[in-house]
Each structure stands twice: as structure tokens, then as C-alpha cells.
Amino acid sequence: MPKRVLQGMVVSDKSDKTVVVRVERRFSHPLLKKTVRRSKRYKAHDENNECKVGDIVLIQESRPISKEKCWVVIKNQPRQQAQ
């Protein structure tokens, strides 16, 4: 079975080697037919503490690393600095 890969934004990097990533999904409401946004937060392992708040990252499912952490950051796209 392939491992899931999700894309989201880092919302917290306060923990050591851990980032909190918000993943947003959009779907059409079954009755109202309006597009609805729902988000979920995942704790992901960031070995070198490279990710900062606001970065767009790809996370991949992995074995359990701690009680709540079973995702690993595989790609980091740093956000652009304002000029």
C-alpha cells in the first residue's frame, strides 16, 4: 500500500524536530452544493529544524515516531520574503 502524501502550511515550529502542518481540503456540500473548506493539523517530523512558520511543505505517512507524530516532512518550499 503506498504511503499518503499531503501538502500543507507550517503553523508552528516551536517543538524540537517537530512542526505542525495545517492541511486544507475542499469539497462540495452534498445538499447545498457550496464549496466547503475543512482543515486538519498534523504533527510531522523535521529532522534538521529547517521548516519555519508559513512554509509550504509536503508530508508523508511513516511509522509512529512518537505518541502523536506519524508523518515526516519530505519537501520544504520556503515562503518568499517581502521586498
CATH of the domain at 27: 2.40.50.140
Asked whether residue 36 is assigned to any structural domain, the reply reads yes
> Is 0.85 topped by the overall pTM?
yes
In the chain, the percentage of residues whose pLDDT exceeds 70 is 95
The SS3 assignment for 15 reads coil
pLDDT at position 1: 84
Q: What's the total number of domains in the chain?
A: 1
- Give the pLDDT mean for 37-60: 96
| Residue 76 near residue 57 (C-beta atoms within 8 A) | yes
The predicted-structure confidence for 8-19, as pLDDT tens digits, reads as follows: 999 999 999 999
Statement: residue 83 has pLDDT above 90: no
- Expressed as residue numbers, the domain containing 58 is 5-77
pLDDT band at 79 (very low <50, low <70, confident <90, very high): confident
First and final CA of the chain: distance in angstroms? 44
